[in-house]
Amino acid sequence: MNDIAVIGTSYVGLTTGVAFADMGNRVVCVDVDEGKIARLKAGKLPIHEPGLHEVVMRSVSAGRLSFSTSYEEGLKRAEFVFIAVGTPDDGTGGADLSQVRAAAQSVAEHMHRPIVVVNKSTVPIGTGDVVTRIINEHRRTSVEFSVVSNPEFLREGSALLDCLQPDRVVLGGPREAAERVAQLYRPLGCPVIITDIRTAEMIKYASNAFLATRISFINEIAAVCERLDADVKEVARGMGLDQRIGPHFLNAGLGFGGSCFPKDVRALMRMATDAGQHPQLLQAVMDINADRRRWVVERLRERLGDLAGKKIALLGVAFKPDTDDVRDAPALTIIRLLRDAGAHVTSYDPEAGEQARRDMPDIDLQPDPYTAVTGADAVVLVTEWKEFRFLDLDRLRRAMSGTTFIDGRNVYDPAEMRSAGFDYLGVARGAGADDSMAGEEIYLDTAVTRSDPV
Q: Which residues bind ligand UGA (CB under 6 A)?
A: 122, 152-156, 208, 211, 215, 249-251, 253, 255-258, 260-261, 319-320
- Min dist CB 260 to ligand UGA, Å, is 3
Secondary structure string (H, E, C) spanning 298-347: HHHHHHHCCCCCCEEEEECCCCCCCCCCCCCCHHHHHHHHHHHCCCEEEE
Helix (H, G, I), strand (E, B), or coil: what is residue 379? strand
Q: Which residue from 168, 138, 139 is spatially nearest to 153, judged by alpha carbons?
A: 168
- Taking the mean position of all CA atoms in its chain, how far away is CA 279? 22
- Min dist CB 78 to ligand UGA, Å, is 24
Sign of CA dihedral 150, 217, 247, 49: positive
- 220 vs 288: CA distance, rounded Å: 7
- 84 vs 100: CA distance, rounded Å: 8
> Is 260 a known active-site residue?
yes
Residue 417 φ/ψ, nearest 5 degrees: -65, -40
Nearer to ligand UGA, 180 or 327 (CB): 327
Angle between helices 261-274 and 197-228 (to 10 degrees): 110
Nearer to ligand UGA, 307 or 317 (CB): 317
- Min dist CB 261 to ligand UGA, Å, is 5
Q: Which of 29, 163, 225, 260 is catalytic?
A: 260
- Min dist CB 451 to ligand UGA, Å, is 33
Check if the beta carbon of residue 317 is closer than 8 Å to that of residue 353.
yes
Check if the beta carbon of residue 146 is closer than 8 Å to that of residue 174.
yes
Q: Which residue from 310, 313, 309, 300 is spatially nearest to 368, judged by alpha carbons?
A: 313
- Min dist CB 10 to ligand UGA, Å, is 10
Active site residues: 260
